[in-house]
Amino acid sequence: MKSKVISMIPISTFSFSSSSIEISNKARRGCNILKAFEIAALTVLTLVSVAGASPFAYIANLESNSVSVIDTATDTVTATVNVGIEPSGAAVSPDGTRVYVTNCMSNSVSVIDAVKNQVIDTVYVGSYPWGVAVSPDGTKVYVANTASNTISVIDTATNNVTATVKVGNLPYKIAVSPDGKKVYAVTSGIPPDYQGNVSVIDTATNNVTATVNVEKNPHGIAVSPDGTKVYVVNSNSYPYYKGTVSVIDTATNNVKATVNVGNLPHEIAVSPNGTRAYVAIDIPGGYSGKGNIDATSHTGAVDVIDTTKNEVIARVSVGNYPYEVAVTPDGNEVYVVNYGSNTTSIIDTATNKVNTTVPVGRSPTAVGIGPVIKSSSTIGLNGTSFLNPVYQTENQTNDTRMTANGGTADKQKRESVPTQASIPFLNSIWVLVAVLGAVAFVKKKN
């Protein structure tokens, strides 16, 4: 506890002329006004700080049985949460209050209270759960059970499994459409051909309504923010692992384009404005097809795809054996977990360079990023003000018609949504209220 310093200067009584007293009173009133404006300014600054809070990134560390919590404002680990055995997937609820982590060797999902950074529930699902995704309204969680060939549907109100959907062989990753009406589960296929496909699930009926063939051994999957495209990462199996990305038209459920990427790709993420896709590449220099792949000896990369041209426009070197990627809600940074380096690389999307590398737990395999929490204000009929949280995820644009920047290597105009974007309650009325309130407070104290 900090000690308080008490002044030892003695208090004396003096006599003043009336003119001196008048000058003193004027000075005091001036001092009070300055105090009032200082308090008002502090109030406004406090409201600004409340208005925009940076999201957190949650890193699932497979061999540490833990989740590292990174504050994206400072890029430092602020907490470590113990979960089940070998956590393999992470997804954050749209309101940022819950984190869902799949534990592949526990056959469970850990539910983390994101405010307290504590596990508050454990939901048992199918065998070897890996991929996980939350519905846009936050009411459902979808889990890909790789060894069971099923998708578990969890009701977030009760944390109970309410449905189990049979899909193809070895479902690995999963994504939900922005409108919540479709779930896309990528299945990796089995020997000898490892033919992969995507099961399209109707969330209203929990039935598979379509199956889309892609290439061999697909791993990652992501849906564009407008819901018109699904991107699937194909590793194309042994022995060369020549990576591609299949682009599916969601209106027809047909592959309409294929993008060549680096060797042995894993996961993919799309920028909030849909103009860029980021693919984690394990062996950017290629693989001869001979010998074992050492996760600690290959410097990995992230391939940056221009989604309008469907071509790779940049390659960013990161750590060893990068596994999963995620884009911040404002589109300004990409978080890459490096399985072989026990680190998370943070890429600036404007320059396509790594700005920071954050040490995390052992063998990180997944990353989920929460929403930006903003505040709006409404005034009731009785004059009462209410601050309402407004959440923005990485696949949403805000209601001011601003879109988030996906990052470019050229001088493309940034269209980023500021973390503290448009604060509607900081208008002239609120400033006046703050000033008047501060003046009244100072008068009362004097």
Tokens representing 347 are 């890429």
27 vs 21, higher pLDDT: 27
Peptide bond into 329 cis (omega under 30): no
Confidence of residue 405 (pLDDT cuts 50, 70, 90): very low
**Domains defined along the chain, listed by start:** 56-370 (2.130.10.10)
Tokens representing 47 are 């409201």
| Pairwise CA distance, residues 156 & 106, whole Å | 20
| Pairwise CA distance, residues 275 & 412, whole Å | 11
Q: How do strand 343-348 and strand 333-338 relate by DSSP bridges?
A: antiparallel
Question: Is residue 386 within 8 Å of residue 378, measured between CB atoms?
Answer: yes
What pLDDT score was predicted for residue 240? 64
pLDDT at 97 over 50: yes
H or E stretch covering 359: strand 353-359
Which residues are paired to 268 by β-bridges? 279
Instruction: For residues 121-132, give the mean pLDDT.
Output: 98
235: Cα within 13 Å, side-chain hemisphere: 24
Question: Is residue 363 within 8 Å of residue 62, measured between CB atoms?
Answer: yes
Question: Is residue 234 within 8 Å of residue 245, measured between CB atoms?
Answer: yes
81 vs 1, higher pLDDT: 81
What percentage of the chain carries pLDDT values higher than 90? Answer: 64
Confidence of residue 443 (pLDDT cuts 50, 70, 90): low
Supply the pTM of this predicted model.
0.76
Instruction: For residues 368-389, give the mean pLDDT.
Output: 54
What pLDDT score was predicted for residue 190? 87
Question: Is residue 155 within 8 Å of residue 121, measured between CB atoms?
Answer: no
Confidence of residue 328 (pLDDT cuts 50, 70, 90): very high
Name the DSSP letter for residue 352: T
What pLDDT score was predicted for residue 38? 53
Backbone torsions φ then ψ of 32, nearest 5 degrees:
-60, -40
Give me the numbers of helices (H) and strands (E) for the chain, helices first please: 2, 30
Instruction: Write the burial class of residue 115 (CB in 10 Å: 0-12 exposed, 13-18 middle, 19+ buried).
Output: exposed
